[in-house]
Structure 1
Amino acid sequence: MRRWRAGALAAVALGWFALGPASVATTANGNGGKQFTVTDVPGRATALFPGATGTRWIRLGNTENFPIVVQAVTTVVGAPVDGRGRAVPGCPASAVRVDALAAPVPVPRNGTADAALTTHMLPGAPAACRALTFPLTYNGTAVKP
């Protein structure tokens, strides 16, 4: 069984209003250049406020001529920015948490599969955290079944 890793960067708008999703680049490990992609699903932005839980949809892409199973996707939340792309020191990145992929996801050869990640804005998040964009970095692993 071979394993592949993917890493990607995206931005998710969390707050009173949700902005459009950003696509992300793909990466591959050194095992024969195999890769899969992780991108935000267009039209499915996440809007959160302090104490809320939501769903962040991602699209897993497989460019190989065989199916894969994405076993894990984890997310690191970066420092938030406002609508003009400026840092917001009054809101820490730790105000938002994204749960890991709940279960493995099969992705067909040369295809895609959508998956949901659960997002949380902590109840004690400062008011400054509303309507901000939190950059997300995705990491994951996949195997050939």
Structure 2
Amino acid sequence: MSRWRSGVPAGALAAVVVTWFAIGPAPVANTANGNGIKQFGIADVPGRATALFPGSTGARWIRLANAENFPILVRTVTAAVGKPVDSRGRPVPACPATSVRLDALAAPVTVPGNGTADVALTSHMLPGAPDACRAVTFPLTYTGTAVKL
């Protein structure tokens, strides 16, 4: 059984501007590294917004991409929330990154060979989030694991 991992760097962003939005797709590599680990893609799905405000829960849609010619089973996906910035890219110190959290992938997902699968991660803005957390961008870094089927 091959093991796969994906780590999407800070270049793949999502935002809470009372809605989430995608900045750009994540790179997908189909080559093995020195450990025999291959990569699969995790990116935000554009156009699938979620309104978030203090105390709310919503769905953050992501796209899992498999560049291989066989299916994979994505077992885990998690998202780390970075420090928020305003519309000009300036830090917003009055809004801690801990104001938003995303739950891990709820169940494994099969991604077809040379295909994609869209899934939702549950997102939360905590009830005590300060007003400074409205209309800011929270960068997300995704990581995950998968196996060859």
Do they fold alike, i.e. is TM over 0.5?
yes
- Percent identical among aligned pairs is 67
Find 2:133's aligned residue among 106, 129, 135: 129
The CA deviation at 1:67 is: 0.5
Which residue identity does 1:43 align to in structure 2?
G
Q: Which moved more, 1:33-42 or 1:127-136?
A: 33-42
Partners of 2:22 and 2:37 in 1: CA distance: 31
Partners of 1:122 and 1:44 in 2: CA distance: 21
The CA deviation at 1:125 is: 0.3
- Structure 2: unaligned runs, 5 residues or longer: none
The Cα offsets for residues 85-139 of structure 1, whole Å up to 9 and x where unpaired, read as 1100000000000000000000000000001000000000000000111000000
Which residue identity does 2:148 align to in structure 1?
K
The answer to whether the aligner puts 1:2 opposite 2:2 as a matched pair is: yes
- Structure 1: unaligned runs, 5 residues or longer: none
Find 1:32's aligned residue among 29, 33, 36: 36
**Corresponding residue number in structure 2 for 1:14:** 16
* Greater strand share, structure number: 1
**Alignment TM-score, normalising by the size of structure 1:** 0.92
Is the CA contact 1:68–1:109 (under 8 Å) kept in the aligned structure 2?
A: yes
Partners of 2:135 and 2:110 in 1: CA distance: 34
Which residue identity does 2:63 align to in structure 1?
R
The Cα offsets for residues 30-76 of structure 1, whole Å up to 9 and x where unpaired, read as 44352210011111133211001010000000001111000000010
Partners of 1:12 and 1:5 in 2: CA distance: 20
Structure 1 residues 6 and 71, CA, compared in 2 at 3 Å: closer, same or farther?
A: same
Is the CA contact 1:18–1:131 (under 8 Å) kept in the aligned structure 2?
A: no
**Corresponding residue number in structure 2 for 1:70:** 74
**Alignment TM-score, normalising by the size of structure 2:** 0.90
Structure 1 residues 74 and 126, CA, compared in 2 at 3 Å: closer, same or farther?
A: same
Is the CA contact 1:6–1:29 (under 8 Å) kept in the aligned structure 2?
A: no
The CA deviation at 1:29 is: 5.1
The answer to whether the aligner puts 1:58 opposite 2:66 as a matched pair is: no
**Corresponding residue number in structure 1 for 2:87:** 83
Q: How well do the aligned residues superpose, as a CA RMSD in angstroms?
A: 1.7
Find 2:116's aligned residue among 112, 115, 124: 112
**How many residue pairs align between the two structures?**
145
Is the CA contact 1:13–1:47 (under 8 Å) kept in the aligned structure 2?
A: no
